[in-house]
A = this chain, B = another copy of it.
Amino acid sequence: MPADDQPTRRATLAQVAERAGVSPMTASYAFNRPGRVSAASRAKVRAAADELGYAGPDPRARSLRRGSSRTLGVVLGEHLPYAFEDPQAAVFLAGVAEVCAGVGHGMTILPLTGAEDDVARIRDAAVDGFVVWTTTDDDPVLEAISSTRLPAVVHSGPSVEGMALVGIDNAAAAREVGLLAFAGSRRPAVLSFPLDKRREAGTRTGLDVGSVLFPVTRERLDGYRSAAADLGFAWDEVQVVVCSRNDTREAERLALDWLGGDDRPDAVAAMGDEVAAGVLRAAATLGARVPEDVAVTGWDDSARAARLDLTTVAQSMRDQGSRCARAALGLDVGDERDGWHVVRRGSTRR
């Protein structure tokens, strides 16, 4: 093999400077503040860089020196495929990305697997702040993030000392949509998201709401319970069916048994439009009329909810993503709580 003297290592700024016959600082300025350097120097530096195949300052060295990596970490507590398949998560991420791109920051996705090394991956992330996609109260990752002392924002919950919280008032929204779902009902029920990270599906009654570890789920259950109470139902009269994720097919399968059984509900308040769609499908299969035989509500006001004429809760995940990113980057976010409203459609009796 013939001698190939080309240094296979990347060139450094110092080498570029030397070759250009200027000081390292001038070379640095040529890249970072071209305006502060004479046209002649700029040209020399550019030429030297081209000759050496220098593609610009090393981001690693730069971030050490600057004390900032200009990157935001986004912690996804879900297994990654779920995270990307959940349309709400996708829109949320787009909101985060928009803000990052706008201020010239990158965005690192930190998928949590539930394994021990989650904490290590958090600590090893070269980021300037964190956005945490909603997780459980007992998630050890929260402590790890907190200990970095970097700015951090949690979406929806849990509420952690020292971290900002972005998201709507889930209890209030659940109460309001629950009042529509359960109006005129004799057997109200809830189709819930998972209670904790084990994500066990199944039916419960008299569920201890306080013990639910996903705060978003807990708050929504609380709101539904309050709506049921207003309409004269004790909480243990309200069936709670838990599905493992916001997936239409799983919900459809569950609902076929459920709506076909002896104990069938005549009103289902669901925590997501996707699972609500599963209930609607099952109802159609079983020949149950909506809302006469069974009223259904969803959550998120997706395009699908509109198509299905589904009463639901509208909120902007994109805005919430932006707000999270802005807060984590120390930009102004205002201090109003995020907005939501109930969209009343034909799937409820009122």
A interface with B by C-beta (< 8 Å):
10, 53, 55-56, 58-64, 67, 69-71, 79-81, 84-85, 87, 89-91, 93-94, 97-98, 101, 104, 106-111, 113, 117, 120-121, 123-126, 144, 147-149, 249, 303
Return the contact of A80 from the options B58, B61, B97 (Cβ within 8 A). Answer: B97
Q: Which of A62, A84, A104, A109 has the most CB of B within 10 A?
A: A84
Chain B residues closer than 8 Å to A117, beta-carbon distance:
101, 104
Contact B104 A106 (CB under 8 A): no
Contact A108 B111 (CB under 8 A): no
Chain B residues closer than 8 Å to A71, beta-carbon distance:
108, 126
Q: Assuming A59-B124, A59-B126, is B111 touching A109 (CB within 8 A)?
A: no
Contact A93 B80 (CB under 8 A): yes
How far is B144's CA from A126's CA once the two chains are assembled, in angstroms?
22
Q: Assuming A104-B120, A108-B108, A109-B107, is B84 touching A90 (CB within 8 A)?
A: yes
Contact B91 A53 (CB under 8 A): no
How far is B10's CA from A84's CA once the two chains are assembled, in angstroms?
34
How far is B147's CA from A85's CA once the two chains are assembled, in angstroms?
34
Interface contacts beyond A81-B90, A126-B126: sample of 16 additional A-B pairs, CB < 8 Å, sorted by A: A58-B64, A59-B125, A59-B126, A60-B60, A60-B63, A60-B67, A60-B126, A81-B91, A84-B90, A84-B94, A85-B90, A90-B90, A104-B121, A106-B125, A108-B109, A249-B303
Number of copies: 2
Q: Which of A10, A62, A94, A126 has the most CB of B within 10 A?
A: A126
Closest 10 CB pairs of A and B: A84-B90, A81-B94, A59-B126, A55-B147, A80-B97, A60-B63, A60-B64, A108-B108, A80-B94, A56-B123
Contact B109 A69 (CB under 8 A): no
Q: List 24 A-B contacts (CB under 8 A).
A: A55-B148, A55-B149, A56-B123, A58-B64, A59-B123, A60-B64, A60-B126, A61-B64, A71-B126, A80-B97, A81-B90, A84-B84, A84-B89, A84-B90, A84-B94, A90-B90, A101-B111, A101-B113, A104-B120, A106-B108, A106-B110, A106-B121, A107-B111, A109-B109
A318 to nearest B CB, angstroms? Answer: 8
Chain B residues closer than 8 Å to A125, beta-carbon distance:
59, 106
How far is B126's CA from A58's CA once the two chains are assembled, in angstroms?
8
How far is B124's CA from A104's CA once the two chains are assembled, in angstroms?
9
How far is B81's CA from A37's CA once the two chains are assembled, in angstroms?
39
Chain B residues closer than 8 Å to A63, beta-carbon distance:
60, 126
A7 to nearest B CB, angstroms? Answer: 11
How far is B78's CA from A93's CA once the two chains are assembled, in angstroms?
14
Chain B residues closer than 8 Å to A87, beta-carbon distance:
85
Q: Assuming A60-B60, A121-B106, is B53 touching A147 (CB within 8 A)?
A: yes
Chain B residues closer than 8 Å to A123, beta-carbon distance:
55-56, 59
Q: Smallest CB-CB separation from A96: which chain B residue?
A: B80
Chain B residues closer than 8 Å to A69, beta-carbon distance:
60, 126
